[in-house]
Amino acid sequence: MTREEKAARFRVLHVRGEPLILFNAWDAGSAKAVADAGAKAIATGSWSVAAAQGYADGEAMPLDLALANIRRIAEAVDLPVTIDFERGYAEEPARVAANVLAAVEAGAIGCNLEDGRAGGDIRSADEQSARIAAIRKATDGLGLDFFVNARTDLFLHAASDTHEGLVEEALARGAAYAEAGASGLFVPGLSDETLIAHVCATSALPVNVMVWPGRTPPLRRLAELGVARISHAGGPWRIAMAALKDAARAAHEMEG
């Protein structure tokens, strides 16, 4: 597929009630394994990408290395590839857009862009909308239907018993982000079935939920609630590293 075909394909995979399942990869090897398992698209997760390179999450990994990583992933698989771009590696809208164009040049046809700041607070909806609008203008200029997955961190940093009181703000942000050119609304941390169903029914954008073991409903139930995209975030990395650690421990025990 061409870059444009991959972008168009990725967008139509977001269907309410028939969610796109993203088992997040962190490098070219893991992306190939996920693709071979039947994935329809490849998504990175910032935490696992950083951990695989020995960095902490939160843009501690240099941008050049993140771009090199996404390039190797895009070259390794013939599937749409979207990058978890955290905060865009910049504050100013023009700089964020320039960084996204670099990710596009490396092979990405979509990105996550979060509205949280490094310290844990949330930037204003207007400020985040300006950043999204800059990305949309820049990628539209390439003739590319780039998928901007607008992530709101409202739920991620709040106790679950406060989430109901945050839903309307999240929906208002989603509406503002949609007007600015966002393609999807990502609500990591939200796990209550009733609230997820309400967000999915109300949002003009397809809704992305993050799997949180022991908290989020099963995948089939998320589909029933109207979710259009399900991300596994750092879960696949943890599974792989746990298996590696167990195998290494067994080998060392035999040696002893």
Closest CA to 96 of 140, 122, 147, 131: 131
User: How confident is the model at residue 256, as a pLDDT?
Assistant: 64
Closest CA to 96 of 61, 59, 70, 43: 59
Q: For the chain, where are the alpha helices, taking DSSP H only?
A: 3-12, 28-36, 46-52, 63-76, 93-106, 125-140, 167-180, 193-202, 219-224, 235-255
On whether the CB atoms of residues 52 and 26 are closer than 8 A, the answer is: yes
On whether the CB atoms of residues 240 and 215 are closer than 8 A, the answer is: no
User: How confident is the model at residue 120, as a pLDDT?
Assistant: 85
CA-based radius of gyration for the chain? 18
The SS3 of residue 105 is helix
pLDDT in tens, 173-225: 999 999 999 999 999 999 999 999 999 999 999 999 999 999 999 999 999 99
Residues of the chain with pLDDT under 70: 256
State which CATH number among 2.40.50.1070, 3.20.20.60, 3.40.50.2000, 3.40.50.720 fits the domain covering 3-255: 3.20.20.60
* Residue with tokens 């809208």, as numbered in its chain: 93
User: How confident is the model at residue 226, as a pLDDT?
Assistant: 98
User: How confident is the model at residue 204, as a pLDDT?
Assistant: 95
